[in-house]
């Protein structure tokens, strides 16, 4: 199991400069804790470079880094406590990464598209398919008819049945399934609206979508038992909340009505 500090560093490593990578590697290698001046001398870097590194990984200063570094080492000896803290930290890192990557304008655009449509085709395979059940549950409560398709062969077949003006939501963390790409191309040529939820910023689906919601790819890693569908589920929650915020009174009434129906009263 990786330590807390390793997770934090790995989550931010793409942002590092060459100097910051040297500092990061010192801690990833499990070296002895040193004062900031001692560390700067040992690594031939400046104190300010170390301070900038701390801020880049979300910490206030070097003292906080050393505290976390020591705590990480000790907590591995306390498996029960560390397991809870480990998952807690993973969720924090994951949610921060999702929020950082999501474009607010794309979220608003997608929410408006969902709100204005009544029949929604949700496409997702593997873990993304599980998210379809949650999507269907949430938005059916708002009066939407949601059709969830869970395998690529059915997705390609259904693409030919999608009509102009229909809404298709494509959920794919990898964003590079060739069969799904072909299906997305087919529906876009029919002038159907497409929303894409993916962790792949360079996904070929993007050119066929009207709203492109980028989420985190961290769910694909072994992150202390966190389910890999969490990045997509979080985006679905945000879209749902966005619609509730836009039409609070009407959506709440619809929600209450659906709850009454579900309870059989």
Q: Which CATH class is domain 4-79?
A: mainly alpha
Q: Which of 76-80, 141-145, 183-187, 203-207 has the lowest mean pLDDT?
A: 76-80
Return the pLDDT at 220.
Answer: 53
List, by residue range, all CATH 1.10.10.10 domains of the chain: 4-79
101-115: average pLDDT: 94
Query: In the prediction, which pLDDT does 77 show?
Result: 47
- The matching CATH number, chosen from 3.40.50.10490, 1.10.357.10, 3.90.930.12, 3.40.50.300, for 99-263 is 3.40.50.10490
| Torsion of the alpha carbons at 66, 71, 1 and 99, rounded to the nearest 10 | -70
Can you say how many angstroms the Cα of residue 215 is from the centroid of all Cα atoms in its chain? Answer: 4
- Average pLDDT on 224-237 reads 86
Evaluate the CA torsion angle 7, 12, 16, 19 in order and state its sign. Answer: negative
- Confidence (pLDDT) at 17: 94
With beta carbons less than 8 A apart as the criterion, state whether 164 and 192 touch: yes
Confidence band for 80, pLDDT divided at 50, 70 and 90: very low
Instruction: Report the pLDDT value the prediction gives residue 72, as an integer from 0 to 100.
Output: 66
Rounded to an integer, the average pLDDT of 214-221 is 73
**Rounded average pLDDT over 188-195:** 93
pLDDT in tens, 28-73: 888 989 999 999 999 999 999 999 999 888 888 898 888 878 776 5
Higher pLDDT, 9 or 248: 9
The answer on pLDDT for 233 being more than 70 is yes
pLDDT > 70: what percent of the chain? 83
pLDDT at 217: 80
pLDDT of residue 26: 93
Lowest mean pLDDT among 115-119, 143-147, 247-251: 247-251
What stretch(es) of the chain map to CATH 3.40.50.10490?
99-263
174 φ/ψ angles, rounded to the nearest 5 degrees:
-75, -35
CA distance 71 to 6: 12
Q: What is the pLDDT of residues 8-23, one digit of tens each?
A: 888 788 889 999 999 9
Average pLDDT value for the chain = 85
Q: What are the DSSP E strand ranges found in the chain?
A: 119-124, 145-149, 167-171, 193-198, 211-214
Token pair for 57: 């990984």
What confidence tier does 81 reach under pLDDT thresholds 50, 70, 90?
Answer: low
| pTM over 0.85, yes/no | no
Distance CA 123, CA 157 (A): 12
């Amino acid at each position: 199991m990786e330590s807390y500090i390793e997770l934090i560093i790995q989550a931010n490593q793409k942002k590092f400069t060459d100097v910051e990578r040297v500092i990061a590697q010192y801690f990833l290698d499990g070296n002895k804790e040193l004062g900031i001046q001692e560390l700067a001398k040992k690594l031939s870097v400046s104190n300010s470079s170390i301070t900038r590194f701390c801020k880049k990984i979300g910490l206030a200063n070097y003292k906080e880094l050393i505290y976390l570094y020591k705590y990480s080492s000790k907590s591995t000896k306390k498996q029960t406590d560390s397991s809870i803290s480990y998952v807690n930290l993973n969720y924090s890192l994951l949610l921060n990464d999702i929020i950082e990557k999501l474009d607010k304008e794309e979220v608003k655009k997608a929410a408006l598209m969902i709100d204005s449509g009544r029949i929604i085709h949700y496409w997702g395979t593997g873990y993304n398919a599980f998210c379809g059940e949650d999507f269907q549950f949430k938005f059916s409560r708002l009066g939407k008819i949601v059709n969830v398709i869970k395998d690529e062969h059915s997705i390609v077949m259904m693409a030919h049945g999608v009509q102009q003006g229909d809404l298709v939501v494509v959920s794919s963390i990898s964003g590079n399934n060739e069969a799904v790409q072909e299906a997305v191309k087919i529906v876009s040529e029919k002038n159907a609206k497409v929303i894409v939820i993916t962790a792949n910023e360079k996904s070929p689906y993007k050119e066929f979508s009207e709203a492109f919601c980028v989420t985190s790819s961290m769910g694909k890693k072994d992150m202390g038992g966190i389910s890999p569908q969490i990045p997509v589920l979080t985006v679905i929650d945000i879209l749902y909340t966005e619609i509730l915020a836009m039409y609070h009174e009407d959506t709440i009434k619809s929600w209450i009505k659906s709850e009454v129906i579900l309870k059989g009263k």
